[in-house]
Structure 1
């Protein structure tokens, strides 16, 4: 019965995602739009980590370009309110007022996200059978990407991991009204860290702990696989 319910819920979620149907927000939940030009003048201190145009050079820092403004505002509010903690972001968010957040989010959402180079396994990481030669490393990455693609679209019924497509869309475009983030072309390293933090409970600012409930059921290999796959989405 439990598996049947999960299969039904995933099917419905997938159907909603493919049809473009999104959750209906009440008027009081609507996020106002900021001023992109004003936001550009407020991001000088952000560029060191996230890049001048929101495309961070360091793979452990998230790209903010083309991210939904609703999601960016939500995260800045979480850093400022203490429901999400980071030694760098938390004090920076404290200095921002609501208008600043809206303007910064509007600026980054108006920028184009950059594509990532083809992913490769870390140099110090062996392939599944212990081999480290280039051909087998490429084959191992292709297997990981295929696994990640399947997990993104179909989830894992056996372990009750929901399909990512239900909330983040067929192409990783996310859902602006629901403040579900766009994921396409995000750094794999940052995605791996985020999912690992959700899994451990280190990051759980979602009121319903949706991502924690999903990530805690994922294996480390599944986290790596879906992160690499998402990093290739455009």
Structure 2
């Protein structure tokens, strides 16, 4: 009996080790193929520009799905379409494996959105007022993320994206934590207007269209602070 258990344990260990080595090899090849992506998304998938999404730590299945959508035209993106057109399924898997293996960077402490600071019709805000307003904005975003808004039938983000915005790997719902607030605002705005619709049953459009611009800003800023 002991001999049989040892044999099973060794077999499982070898299988796990082989799978890990294979995954690492795929990610290594993906790094080379992702070289042309570094200009916008960063060498390790951590974009330094807030308008471009961080890809580090994102679920492989979700990244593959998006690349295929760019390639087919299901997701309209003039910058991404030409790049995706040159990728076969294997290359997409390898690039996605590389980014999925990276660790997403933590964002610096957020500051008040620029459009809230620049208002010539009002006296300049003090630092304490800005801090209080930012704290209120993030608190509003936290409440919306976790509880939604029953009155306007806005679903809680936590239902699909998890308590720590880690996403749902089997369902291919993306991880959101530590993503750039600017990118999240644009994404939710695109879902709201229908400019982006490549999600199951257009679910994100149905949610985002019920969100106010302030809702979108608040939840985006909150998510950007999650680690």
Match of residue 165 from structure 1: 158
Q: Retained in 2: the 8 A contact 1:196–1:215?
A: yes
TM-superposition CA deviations, 1:183-233 (whole Å, max 9, x none): 000000000000000000001111410100000000000000000000000
Question: Helix, strand or coil for the counterpart of 1:208?
Answer: helix
Residue 55 of structure 1 is aligned with which of 19, 41, 46? 46
Residue 133 of structure 1 is aligned with which of 126, 151, 154? 126
TM-superposition CA deviations, 1:32-59 (whole Å, max 9, x none): 9991111011011100000000000000
Which stretch shifts more, 172-181 or 118-127? 118-127
How far is 1:134 from its partner? 1.6
Question: Helix, strand or coil for the counterpart of 1:55?
Answer: coil
Greater relative contact order (Cα 8 A, min sep 6): structure 1 or 2?
A: 1
Q: Retained in 2: the 8 A contact 1:127–1:136?
A: no
Q: Does 1:122 align with 2:113?
A: yes
Match of residue 13 from structure 2: none
Q: Retained in 2: the 8 A contact 1:118–1:232?
A: yes
How far is 1:118 from its partner? 1.0
Give distance in 1, aligned partners of 2:222 and 2:62.
22
Question: Helix, strand or coil for the counterpart of 1:209?
Answer: helix
133 and 58 in structure 1: CA distance in 2 versus 1, 3 angstrom threshold: same
Match of residue 102 from structure 1: 93
TM-superposition CA deviations, 1:103-131 (whole Å, max 9, x none): 00000000000000111113442399865
Match of residue 182 from structure 1: 175
Q: What is the root-mean-square deviation of aligned Cα atoms in Å?
A: 1.9
Question: Helix, strand or coil for the counterpart of 1:204?
Answer: coil
Give distance in 2, aligned partners of 1:156 and 1:127.
29
TM-score of the pair, normalised by structure 1: 0.83
TM-score of the pair, normalised by structure 2: 0.86
Match of residue 36 from structure 1: 27
Match of residue 58 from structure 2: 67
Rg bigger for which structure? 2
Match of residue 216 from structure 1: 209
Question: Helix, strand or coil for the counterpart of 1:45?
Answer: helix
Question: By percentage of residues, which structure has more helix?
Answer: 2
Gaps of 5+ in 2: 1-22
Match of residue 153 from structure 1: 146
78 and 33 in structure 1: CA distance in 2 versus 1, 3 angstrom threshold: farther
